[in-house]
Amino acid sequence: MLLLSGVLAGPAARAADQHLQVFVTAPYLQMHTGPGRGYPVFNVVDRDAGVDVLKRYTDWFKVRDSRGVEGWASAHDMEQTVYADGTHFHYDTGDLNAFTSHRFEAGAFFYGDYGGASEVSVYGAVFANPNLAAEVSVAEFLGTASNGTTVDLGLVHIFYPQARLAPFVMLGTGVVRTEPKATLVEPDDRTEQSAYVGAGLRYYLTRRFFLRGEFKEHIIFTNRNQNEQVDEWKFGFAFFF
| The only residue of 62, 64, 102, 216 in contact with another protein, by rule CB under 8 A | 62
For 192-238, the three-class secondary structure string (H helix, E strand, C coil) is EEEEEEEEEEEEEEECCEEEEEEEEEEEEECCCCCCEEEEEEEEEEE
CA distances from 206 to 93, 97, 238, 240 (A): 10, 11, 11, 11
Counting contacts by CB under 8 A, is residue 30 touching another protein?
A: no
Counting contacts by CB under 8 A, is residue 23 touching another protein?
A: no
Q: Least Å distance between CB 157 and another protein?
A: 26
Return the residues of window 115-174 that contact another protein according to CB under 8 A: 117-120, 122, 140, 142, 147
Counting contacts by CB under 8 A, is residue 234 touching another protein?
A: no
CA distances from 232 to 20, 68, 108, 112, 223 (A): 48, 56, 15, 7, 22
| The only residue of 56, 157, 177, 190 in contact with another protein, by rule CB under 8 A | 56
| The only residue of 58, 101, 191, 193 in contact with another protein, by rule CB under 8 A | 58
Closer CB to another protein, 113 or 227, in the complex: 113
CA distances from 240 to 8, 94, 126, 137 (A): 43, 8, 10, 15
SS3 101: coil
Stretch that binds another protein, among 2-10, 13-21, 161-169, 212-220 (CB under 8 A): 13-21
Closer CB to another protein, 208 or 218, in the complex: 208
Closer CB to another protein, 143 or 173, in the complex: 143
Stretch that binds another protein, among 31-39, 95-103, 167-175, 190-198 (CB under 8 A): 31-39
Radius of gyration (Cα) for the chain, nearest Å? 26
For residues 154 and 172, the answer to whether their CB atoms sit within 8 Å is yes
Counting contacts by CB under 8 A, is residue 177 touching another protein?
A: no
Q: How far apart are CA 102 and CA 241, in angstroms?
A: 7
Which residues in this chain contact another protein in the complex, by CB under 8 A? Answer: 15, 18-20, 33-39, 53-62, 83, 108, 110-111, 117-120, 122, 140, 142, 147, 181, 207-209, 237, 239
